[in-house]
Amino acid sequence: MCGGGNELSTAAVQGNWREVKRLLNEEKVNVNAVNKYGHTALQVMMMGCTLVAEELLANGADPNIQDKNGFTPAHDVARTGFLDTMMVLVGYDTDMNMEDASGCLPIHLAAQEGHLGLVQFLAPKSFVWHRNSSGQTPLELARACDRTEVVEWLEEYLQAAGTPTLH
């Protein structure tokens, strides 16, 4: 299965949707097989290639699998800024509130990188008041990174949302 994981990962990294589809449907490669580095195709796919993401997820890829740093595919997509790919992930029950090793949710990474469209998409699906292990909310991370548009939008969003209730 390792060989199949390598082949599938290579096709996913290259954004080669046809080869991903062929490997899954004709070669019957396990969609969650890992490559020689211990990652699945969904973890290493070309982030902006929604066709590959859709094919992998439709064939049962685990959208909530974490790497050694706690990153899920959603964390990677949030950091790199691909809204279309994030929309595909959300359609397959991806947990937008999984923490990476530093306690960040995907919205933290989108805010830190200044991806306003992603922040706007993720806010209603995320614990926007969540603090990472450094004690920062997505708003505070955006502020620290001088992401002015994100800061302004999050301030308005949080003001409209009101004070969070404690669980």
Q: What is the mean pLDDT of residues 130-148?
A: 97
Is 142 within 8 Å of 112 (Cβ atoms)?
Answer: yes
Per the structure, how many domains does the chain have?
2
Same domain, 55 and 118: no
Which of 44, 62, 80 delimits the end of a domain? 62
Kindly indicate the confidence band of residue 167, based on its pLDDT and cuts at 50, 70 and 90: very low
The confidence score (pLDDT) of residue 4 equals: 84
Q: 88's torsion region: left (phi>0), alpha (psi -120 to 50) or beta?
A: alpha
| Domain limits for position 148 | 69-167
Same domain, 4 and 51: yes
Same domain, 78 and 56: no
Same domain, 95 and 58: no
In the chain the first and final C-alpha atoms are separated, in Å, by 43
**Residue 31 scores a pLDDT above 50:** yes
3-state helix vs strand vs coil in the chain, percent to 5: 55, 0, 45
pTM: 0.91
**Residue 53 scores a pLDDT above 60:** yes
Q: What is the mean pLDDT of residues 151-163?
A: 91
Same domain, 94 and 125: yes
Which of 42, 62, 82 delimits the end of a domain? 62
Using CA atoms of 107, 109, 111, 112 in order, give the dihedral in degrees to the nearest 10.
160
Same domain, 15 and 80: no
Domain of 41, CATH number, reads 1.25.40.20
Which of 10, 39, 62 delimits the end of a domain? 62
